[in-house]
Amino acid sequence: MVNVLFFAQLKELLGSSGMDLNLTTPCTVNDVKSALIEHNSAWATQLNQPTIMCAVNQTMVEGTHPVNNGDEVAFFPPVTGG
Amino acid sequence: MSTPSRHISVKVQTEDFDVAAEYAVMRENNTQDGAIVFFSGLVREMNQGQGVSGLYLEHYPAMTEKSLNGIVEQACERWPLSRVRLIHRVGQLHVSDQIVFVAVSSSHREAAFEACHFIMDFLKKRAPFWKKETTESGDRWVEALEKDQKALDKWENNEN
């Protein structure tokens, strides 16, 4: 199982703060994204935005990064702190 | 290259902070440093062409301190810093409120100036904070700026 989280504008646009996904692992961040779109096809536009960022276990990574059972995978828009 | 005398403090909090108190801690029993540089970021009344009355800072709690500590570690690897204090506020803020504070000390000013700048540039692009502003025409999420990416690229291209 993979714990998916959404933040900020993405959380609002998807109407969800996250979910647990049952996936065959190991897979990649891109596979997690595909599984989310399969779960809810209305999410495709937002999740496929090229600017969407991802963190696996609280570290920012690229789409090809591996995801294992029990990982926390977060998707969010570009950060705007400081 | 860590030195035994290095002091690092990273905090994420809703409460305001006192720059004078933070500066005092940077100086306390500090006989080795010749330079302290600090930066404080504030809520501006105008942003991206609109009047702003306040903002809400959302973050990713499990990741925030981890990413800030990572940025400070990177700065400590690049420059001989002895003390670093970093505070970032979250939650509801109003115009002219303090948002962020970074202070670094070193033997000489060049390292302190550069490291403070580096930490802010990395924080802007790598730490999971998002600002939602309250404006005259409603709430809006602040958009990331290309200039912030350019500022980061500059440091990454200089890396040796």
Q: Where are the domains of chain A?
A: 2-76
Mean pLDDT of the region A15-41? 97
- Above 50 in pLDDT, residue B126? yes
ipTM value, please give it.
0.95
Asked if A81 lies within 8 A of B124 by C-beta distance, the reply is yes
Tell me the fold of A2-76.
Ubiquitin-like (UB roll) (3.10.20)
Asked if B67 lies within 8 A of A9 by C-beta distance, the reply is no
Compute the C-alpha angle A63/A66/A70, nearest 5°. Answer: 120
**What was the pLDDT predicted at B159?**
62
- Asked if B155 contacts B114 with a C-beta cutoff of 8 angstroms, the reply is no
Q: Which of A8, A55, A78 sits opposite B63 (nearest CB)?
A: A55
Q: Is residue A7 less than 8 Å (CB to CB) from chain B? A: yes
Mean pLDDT of the region B125-135? 96
**What was the pLDDT predicted at B3?**
46
Q: Where are the domains of chain B?
A: 7-158
**What was the pLDDT predicted at B22?**
97
Could you give phi then psi for residue B64, rounded to 5 degrees?
A: -60, -55
**What was the pLDDT predicted at A22?**
94
First to last CA, chain A: 34
Structure tokens at A69: 């059972």
Cα dihedral: A81, B3, B9, B10 (round 10) = 30
Could you report the per-residue pLDDT of B14-66, keeping only the tens digit for each? 999 999 999 999 999 999 999 999 999 999 998 878 899 999 999 999 999 99
Question: How many angstroms from the chain centroid is the CA of residue B153?
Answer: 18
A18-24, long-range: CB < 8 A, 24+ apart? A18/A74, A23/A67
**pTM of the full predicted structure?**
0.93
Tell me the fold of B7-158.
Aldehyde Oxidoreductase; domain 3 (3.90.1170)
Could you report the per-residue pLDDT of B90-125, keeping only the tens digit for each? 999 999 999 999 999 999 999 999 999 999 999 999
Of A19, A55, A13, A10, give the one whose Cα is nearest residue B61.
Answer: A55
CA distance B76 to chain A (A): 19
Confidence of residue B160 (pLDDT cuts 50, 70, 90): very low
CA distance B112 to chain A (A): 19
DSSP B66-125: HHHHHHHHHHHHHS-EEEEEEEEE-EEEETT-EEEEEEEEESSHHHHHHHHHHHHHHHHH
Confidence of residue B4 (pLDDT cuts 50, 70, 90): very low
Asked if B99 lies within 8 A of A58 by C-beta distance, the reply is no
Count of CA atoms in the C-beta half-sphere (13 A) of B87: 20
